[in-house]
Chains A and B, each alone.
Chain A
């Protein structure tokens, strides 16, 4: 049971870190759009647009 003496304070630290991350995320607008990112991962914008790409109509 003595391990709890270490684990409980450790859990507090972890919660603190998670809370800090959550607040940071909220502040940086991570929650502003909860739907858009779900679609944006599908968009393959890894191909840079070429000025004269004949393959694209």
Chain B
């Protein structure tokens, strides 16, 4: 076989053959591939890979250029509405607040525009017993709170279907299906409209240009055009009529009203002309108009999907099935759906399996990767009594976990809800455009009537097509699309850069921010110890000393040990390692006895030596060989490696930087000086931090706060826009407007740049849409615009707005170093194709 060495060949034998994740110790899921046995990380991968290979598709592994996601097992379909009222079914997607107050996330099908959102919000909110409802345009999801004593969930779902939409309680497996069906229908409508448009144009062109056409041919062409346009109007343009009818029934004015009026009048006029033999036909305009409008909506649908996908990835982390131990501590295993788990159940999580829920480790000792949740790439070690989070991946050895929180109470679900809420809270600028659009439509209809009457007085034969032109040329879609298209695309792009937007206004405010206030520990610094300086003695090199220290600390999980291991690879294997808690470690390497730890412990005989010099809050660790001091290590919480570059970039963007920390003055000053931050404050309590930010705000500054700890939560909530570190406390993330998924500080300046670019693009879009209409309406009113020019102009303006917004999806900051994109999160690797 002459296949080039593909991605698979580059995988080491310790990685999962299917998805490329490291295979945990103790996981045994062999795959037979071309006579060899390759490892898999879990049952899912094993089953998938074996199916691929057994069906003769093994060439996939030789040719693939990207790694697939770890497969999840499909969930059982939940079919009938009434089922959704059963408590055990509701458990997975409904949160109970008080006795009867419940909250659920719903997916809405058939949402096409901001007006649909508005309609659904109003309709659901009007139901007796519904307490509140918020709908997110980007993901077509709604959050509904209701009083279960007065209304059942099934009644809410039925109410939604009564107004022509379909609502499903959220369940990630269904979301994909819905998307697929919607997309398929859109393609069919687009295809019919496209074919109709092309062929009608073929008939229209000779009718416009030919001079010697006989009347019977002309008539034949009109009839042929009519036959072709019927499916375009009845099938392809159907959503516009439905939307307009919905608006009409609700006595509100949406984007669909003028579109449907335009299509309807032009088509009706043409049919009349065809039958009666008098007047012009506009079949070509109608078909083209419908096609271009559908094309614009198709693009927009894809943009929305792209942005929504990253959020849905988070939900999909939870597996469908898990192993329950019903008689723990006995070892009887039962496979159960995660939805059937109850709080207090014991579950067995084998290496390579994903944790199904939040809980506490009861038995076992393992490393768990929380990368998907926090962006932290290192596995976190978990032992008895450790808290574990649903969605994280067990990597080392089996764990028995007692389930504490399930489904909607889990940390993962709360992250998703945070995101949902954020996207629901539409930015002010977005609401402004919505309201403007309703006024615009009303005004437009008024103008159309007036112009129609005036032309009726001047020349009754022209009234019809001038009215059609105005209705078509002024479609306010461009105006309505301007803001949501840009915000949706920008939010999606930000997520892929590693910055989750959890509140809608964040992007807008970040663009206007003038001051950036940082917390120190865990934000600008790692929040853990690392070796700042090595002082070797007696002619040894720093590297030698580091290698010895690493060897001694090879097996320890102590923070100091971890820091020392980062300095160098172990020199050799240390034997007879003995830990003296609180003092240090002793071991033998190549016949010599080494001691590492507190100075008094390392040098057992004689006086303990004094460290070389005090160093900004650092603590010193001594290494001794056979009782003789050979090296000093200075350990401190050091600034993140990328902090200087990232902060310099932010300063270049014109932001004033501040450092406010609860730490001692010495440590804060050291970090501030190292990073070039002029304004720093040490020893600040949470209320001091808040006061500091409030003082800045009173000077008219717009403050962005970056923090990570529980102590930062108040100030995060108090600042106009706030960013929490993904590794930080839950409370901090809940209070923040944005969450950094990785620990890459460069994300901040990328975020600021993207936010500014977004604001710029929204303004461009609004300016374009308004300017276009200002020119188009008078031109159409004076009769200079034929319906087909109007069709092109209108569609082009919508497309331009959407395409302009899509520029944001590939946004990358003009960078001066290439390291910025080095570490996109894993979410980025799974970006779905359109």
Contacts and interface: CB of A to CB of B under 8 A. Distances in A.
Nearest to A23: B188
A4 B199 contact: no
Q: Which of B9, B184, B191 has the most CB of A within 10 A?
A: B191
A8 B199 contact: no
B56 A8 contact: no
Nearest to A29: B184
B191 A26 contact: yes
B199 A11 contact: yes
B811 to A, nearest CB: 22
A33 B832 CA distance: 11
Interface string B190-203: 01100110010011
A4 B217 contact: yes
Contacts of A48: 56
A46 to B, nearest CB: 9
B191 A23 contact: yes
Nearest to A36: B833
Sort chain A's interface into a size bin. 35 or more
A12 B224 contact: yes
B610 interface: no
Given A15-B228, A19-B192, A23-B188, A4 B53 contact: no
A49 to B, nearest CB: 5
A34 B56 contact: no
A27 B58 CA distance: 28
Contacts, number: 85
A56 B1 contact: yes
B191 A56 contact: no
A12 to B, nearest CB: 6
Given A1-B217, A11-B199, A47-B1, A31 B227 contact: no
B34 interface: yes
A33 B227 contact: no
6 A-B pairs with the lowest CB-CB distances in the bound complex, closest first:
A45-B59, A22-B191, A43-B63, A52-B35, A35-B833, A26-B188
Given A15-B199, A42-B63, A8 B188 contact: no
Interface in B198-222: 199, 202-203, 213-214, 216-217, 220-221
Nearest to A14: B199
A7 to B, nearest CB: 10
Contact of A45 (B57, B65, B180, B203): B57
Contact of B195 (A9, A18, A44): A18
9 contacts: A5-B216, A8-B203, A35-B833, A39-B65, A43-B60, A45-B57, A47-B59, A53-B34, A55-B1
B86 interface: no
Contacts of A8: 203, 220-221, 224
B192 to A, nearest CB: 6
A53 B228 CA distance: 58
B187 A26 contact: yes
A45 to B, nearest CB: 4
Given A8-B220, A11-B199, A43-B60, A49 B191 contact: no
Contacts of B195: 15, 18-19, 22
B203 A31 contact: no
Given A15-B199, A19-B191, A53-B1, A5 B184 contact: no
Contacts of A26: 184, 187-188, 191
Contacts of A1: 213-214, 217
Given A4-B220, A12-B227, A49 B58 contact: yes
B815 interface: no
B610 to A, nearest CB: 59
A56 B9 CA distance: 11
Nearest to B33: A49
Nearest to A11: B199
Contacts of A52: 35
A52 B35 CA distance: 5
B220 A5 contact: yes
B718 to A, nearest CB: 46
A51 to B, nearest CB: 5
Contacts of B3: 44, 56
B79 interface: no
Q: Which of A1, A26, A45, A57 has the most CB of B within 10 A?
A: A26
B10 interface: no
Contacts of A12: 199, 224, 227-228
A27 to B, nearest CB: 8
Q: Which of B59, B65, B180, B214 has the most CB of A within 10 A?
A: B59
Contacts of A23: 188, 191-192
Contacts of A5: 216-217, 220
Nearest to B203: A8
Contact of A31 (B9, B56, B60, B184): B184
B59 A43 contact: yes
Given A23-B192, A31-B183, A45-B56, 4 more contacts: A35-B833, A49-B59, A50-B34, A56-B34
A47 to B, nearest CB: 6
Contacts of B228: 12, 15
Given A43-B60, A56-B1, A56-B34, A34 B224 contact: no
B822 interface: no
Contacts of B58: 49
B8 to A, nearest CB: 10
B458 interface: no
Given A8-B203, A42-B63, A34 B834 contact: yes
Given A34-B833, A34-B834, A11 B191 contact: no
Contacts of B221: 8
A49 B34 contact: yes
Q: Which of A4, A31, A32, A49 has the most CB of B within 10 A?
A: A49
